[in-house]
A and B are shown apart, each in its own frame.
Chain A
Amino acid sequence: MSSWQFGLVVTSGLLTARLLSTTSYIVSFSEQFLWLSSALAGVLFYLAAYLMLRLGQQFPEETIGEYVPRLFGKMFGSGVFLVFITVLFINIINCTVALTKLTLVFLLDQTPQAVLIIVLLLAVAYCVMQDFGTILRVIQILVLALPLLYIFYSLIWLNFETLNILPLWPDHFIGILQGVMYHISYYAGYESLLVLLPMAKRGEVSFARTVGWGFLIVTLIYVFGGLVLVGSISAKTIASVPQPVVYGMKSIELPGTFIERLENYMIMFFIPVTYISMVLSYFSLTEGCRKYLHYNDHRTFIPVFLPLIFFVSIFIDTPERYDVFRYFGMYVILFFSFVIIPILLFLVWWKKGRRKNAKQNK
């Protein structure tokens, strides 16, 4: 794939149905400065993605599962790879649970969540079974749901009240920074670039730029979306309802049209958008395992993880278990992105420096 396709693919997996359920947690810290929190989080998570790009570019033909064990030993490398696949695993489960729960609550009422999860996972597995060229083409088509989703989402402007977003100057920066951490549900999914990078062709435009553009667009979507949401239903309401975005959509009426239940249309567009993220994470998971274990085909690993994803997804069906899983996932992803990756990058640079010095001394 080209560098622009790489940027599109990496960032198309960011926006998912997870954000619908996480917004209330974020607002409980950042209050009406959700938009500012989203902007700062965009910068922070782009930095994490940038570090991953720099790490991946040191080894252009290899994935993380290949170069880390080779450079730092089998044990350390296996440990890092295990954390990496856990991150992808968590992303897939979060997406699955968020989308199926949303569907269950607002579209269907008597269908068991387990059935919805099976159907979704089978559809994801069907796509992951294809070669990457096909997956790339599917993503480029399904990503068109994003502007359509945003068109429906932006109807929340109709209830916008300026008073809800005041004051404009924040007086509790700590809360905003705390909210930044919870934005992992908004931005998680970029980790798959550690597996996708070797498949991309280095062109005239750098990967950092193309991924940067993608992050910028997604961040702007979140910033304006946050501004609109807070302006429409106020931060207090957002913090007290479980699905504030859907709550905001429910209050919209379009007089003179036959369109009712706008939130259903929005949820429909969340299906392909979340599907993209799940496919990318699952493909990265199976492809990463293939490269790590030196298999010929990534399809071998599809049936291996499917039952695990299913059982964990139905296990975390109570609010308490879901909260525990959510916090666990958040800390693992943050740990991987902001601790492990910088350490790896530092070690790689340090090793290269030593090698260079050794050559010069000779």
Chain B
Amino acid sequence: MGKATRSRLRKLSVKLQKQVQQIKDIGSAISGAIKNLRKARTLDKENFGFTKTIEMNEHLVRSALSCCDDVKYRQFRAGKAKALLVYLSGLTDTSKIETTVIECLTGRVEINESFVNINQITNLLITAANVTVVKKPAEGITNILKGNPLLIIDGIAEAVSIDAAKYEKRQITKAENEDVARGPHDSFNETIGDNIALVRRRTKDPDLKVEIFEIGARTQTSVALLYIDDIVKPGLTDEIRNQLLAIRIDKVILSANVEEFLSNQVWNPFPQTLTTERPDKVVAGLYEGRISIIVDTSPTALIVPVSLQDFMQSVDDYTQRPAVASLTRLTRYFAAFIAVFLPAIYVSIVSYHPGMLPSGLAFSIAELRGKTPFPALLEAFLMEGLLEIFQEAIVRLPQKLAAAAGIVGALVIGTTVVETALVNALLVVVIALTGLSSFSMPSYTFGMALRFFRVAALIAAAVFGLYGIGISFIVMVVFLCSLHTYGESYMGNLFDITLIKDWKDGVLRFPAEFLTSRPKRLGPKDKTRIGGED
């Protein structure tokens, strides 16, 4: 090929590229114009509006759900009129729509029959258990994407959404993170309907209200608000409902997405909602005057308002004898203290106050520490860092490797680190005890928050010894008392003398015959737990 030819070809290809670009620009301009025309014809924020012409409606639905090959279009005749069923395969029960929609409209309608309005179809023909007349196209599209097929009839500018969603879901299983020795073992799954049913099974109270919203501009996730209408504090439901409806986010795929918006102090490490997998815990919370929020596709429910003592209670406390349960709770509070302050106490005593130890122990610690090159604070940070990394690794590892990781952790952290004189053996015991204490918390998120304060206490102890521990404890108490969730103080109600009746189910657990009143701090309308008369 000659030079001139090559140059001509090059010029032609550039010209061709420019023309292709121009065509693309024209195409997008036309699409934009079409969108604008549609907006002029429609209601606010709608992509398009239903017309009386089925071909136009089909074209518009196909445009809105373009490149969605899992959306199926079933055309048929309902009497004289053309009909179209649009559904999502994989999320729709096709056998149900065959029997309740297609068979009814094709088999029971005379060939010359026509329809004037949609009610003729919904009231007389379709046998599905639940149908909704849809006037807004966006609602129809959302219902299709939820698994509810959309029926469009030629000559009618409305559509019908049929409740026929069916999809694969996880069976009701044991709670993975909140299993109890004695008590029910069923837990929530990812389906909101099943979760609400688990709560309903435990109470036949007509005052249990369930309000369902869609949250998430794109995901349109169903979120249920559960409360007992004649118990919950006046105004609390409205406040939480308004907060939920004010959430502006494009996706909600976890309950944690909603949880963050319910918190009034976003940088606070302590959880301000109680998350649970257990329906019995939700019901118990509802009957204390709390509100529960269940998010579709999430196996954990949220309970508000809560305080520190709610994170220190477990379902086991109510299945054991009161004396045993009280002792267990006291142990948990002690464990929470250890989880935060034990490494700090160790550092302060070995650095500033070795005289507080018996002489035998003091000498053996001095001997152990004499072999290690690092100061006590650095040793503690090293071990803390190893523990945190190890904890993260265990959570991420596949189950088959977790056992091996346990052995590695025990060998690496427990034995080798001591033998190589990086840290002393007593510190390993201290850190192990600290880790166990934080794992003994009934709430995983609460246990994580305690780890956050451990570092601050460690630094305070390293600088000021026991004085630093005292001050850091006080500052932590002040911080926790300053937190509020929906009017309830996070820690301040623990020993409030005006709430002395609530102490019966706080740090200690009194027998059930003494627990005749609901927690006063929640401000319930119905203050007594004794059932009402008919």
Contact = CB atoms under 8 A, between A and B. Distances in A.
A178 interface: no
A134 B495 contact: no
B156 interface: no
A275 interface: yes
Interface string B466-506: 11111101110110011000000101111111100000000
Of the listed residues A111, A126, A137, the one surrounded by the most CB atoms of chain B closer than 10 A to its CB is: A137
B356 interface: yes
B532 interface: no
B72 to A, nearest CB: 60
Contact of A260 (B352, B357, B493, B498): B357
A107 B352 contact: yes
A138 B478 contact: yes
Interface string A231-274: 00000000000000000000000000010110010011001100
Contacts of B357: 258, 260
B474 A142 contact: yes
B491 A141 contact: yes
A8 B469 CA distance: 26
Contacts of A8: 497
B355 interface: yes
Contact of A258 (B361, B492, B496): B361
Contacts of B216: none
B510 interface: no
Interface string A131-155: 0011011101110100000000000
Given A108-B465, A116-B464, A264-B353, A134 B471 contact: no
Interface size class for chain A?
Answer: 20 to 34
A5 interface: yes
Given A126-B475, A127-B478, A133-B489, A268 B495 contact: no
A8 B482 CA distance: 20
Contacts of A343: none
Contacts of B473: 272
Interface string A287-317: 0000000000000000000000000000000
A164 interface: no
Contacts of B482: 130, 134
Nearest to B490: A137
B353 A107 contact: yes
Contacts of A119: 464, 467-468, 471
A4 interface: yes
Contact of A111 (B356, B464, B493, B496): B464
A125 B468 CA distance: 16
Interface string B337-360: 000000000000000110111100
A141 B355 contact: no
A103 interface: yes
B471 to A, nearest CB: 5
B355 A260 contact: yes
B470 A130 contact: no
A348 interface: no
Contact of A123 (B361, B474, B495, B498): B474
B477 A142 contact: yes
Contacts of A126: 475, 478
A144 B507 CA distance: 14
Given A4-B497, A261-B353, A108 B464 contact: yes
Contacts of A258: 357-358, 361
B481 A107 contact: no
Interface in B353-387: 353, 355-358, 361
Contacts of A28: none
A134 B361 contact: no
Nearest to B500: A4
Contacts of A142: 474, 477
Contacts of B495: 140-141, 144
A134 B481 contact: yes
Contacts of B478: 123, 126-127, 130, 134, 138
Interface string B174-200: 000000000000000000000000000
Nearest to A7: B497
A103 B352 CA distance: 12
Contacts of B353: 107, 261, 264
Interface in B124-160: none
A86 interface: no
B466 A268 contact: yes
B475 A141 contact: no
A120 interface: yes
A2 interface: yes
Given A137-B491, A138-B481, A140-B497, A271 B464 contact: no
Contacts of B469: 268
A271 B475 contact: no
A265 to B, nearest CB: 8
Contact of B474 (A2, A133, A136, A272): A272
B512 to A, nearest CB: 27
B355 A261 contact: yes
A137 B489 contact: yes
B467 A108 contact: yes
A264 B356 contact: yes
Interface string A272-290: 1001000000000000000
A137 B497 contact: no
Given A127-B478, A267-B466, A272-B473, 6 more contacts: A2-B497, A107-B353, A108-B467, A137-B489, A261-B355, A271-B467
30 contacts: A1-B498, A103-B467, A107-B465, A107-B467, A108-B467, A119-B467, A120-B471, A123-B474, A126-B475, A127-B474, A134-B481, A134-B489, A134-B492, A137-B481, A138-B492, A140-B492, A141-B477, A141-B481, A141-B491, A141-B494, A142-B477, A144-B495, A258-B361, A261-B353, A261-B356, A264-B353, A264-B466, A268-B466, A271-B470, A271-B471
Instruction: Give 8 nearest A-B pairs by CB, closest first.
Output: A137-B492, A271-B470, A137-B481, A261-B356, A127-B478, A258-B358, A134-B482, A103-B467
